[in-house]
Amino acid sequence: MAIPLVVTILALLGLLLVGVGLVGLVLLIVGIAKRKTALWVIGIVCLVPAVLAVVFAVPALLFLGVAVPVNMKTTHVRDEPAIAAESGEGDFVRTGDGRGTARVAGVDIEVLEPGGGGSGSSTTSSHGLGGVKEDHEVRLGDVRIHIHRENGARDLAVDGRDCGRVEPGDQVLVTEDRRVLVNGERR
């Protein structure tokens, strides 16, 4: 998801105002400590725009529905068979013995003869007005598996091909000829 230029500019302006606010806070404290009226007045003048930026910018971004990434984990194991790359609560990715296995978002995945390239996974989460969205990318050899999770529903894609919905506990098997079976049914 690309962040619009306007949001980027507003975020940078907000950071600038927060920086000015921090300088204002220091001037306010020094002015009070040294009993210099001019310093604490300048400090208050600097603090006001920073407080307004925080008070108005955060709700505005939330009401605009801008998705804010909250969690991004990437693990990667290259060309090392039988080594697991842990990627979250109960999730794992492994290759070795002519097959690749993974558990991602509660879905068990097995790839027969995954090819070279080791294994790896990444998870990206975001929150917005539409709810929680997660994208899980798994690579087992030369097979790429994507699980998109939004508000509890999980959509599976293998090598860019849509394979429908999956549920936690489902068993996904990718055969040597790259057929996809979910709980024994071809997708």
Task: With cut-offs at 50, 70 and 90, classify the pLDDT of residue 161.
Answer: very high
Q: Which residue, chain included where needed, has tokens 């002015």? A: 31
**Cβ atoms of 76 and 140 closer than 8 Å:** no
SS3 46: helix
Find the domain containing 155 and state its range.
68-186
**Cβ atoms of 138 and 104 closer than 8 Å:** yes
Say if residue 53 is in the same domain as residue 85. no
Say if residue 129 is in the same domain as residue 171. yes
Q: Provide the whole-model pTM.
A: 0.51
Say if residue 113 is in the same domain as residue 175. yes
DSSP label of 114? -
Q: Which residue, chain included where needed, has tokens 């039988």? A: 82
Task: With cut-offs at 50, 70 and 90, classify the pLDDT of residue 77.
Answer: very low
Among residues 64, 93, 115, which one ends one of the domains? 64
DSSP label of 2? P
Say yes or no to pLDDT of 70 above 70.
Answer: no
pLDDT digits (tens, 9 = 90+) for 26-60: 998 998 999 888 888 888 888 888 887 777 766 65
Beta strands 107-112; 171-174: pairing state? parallel
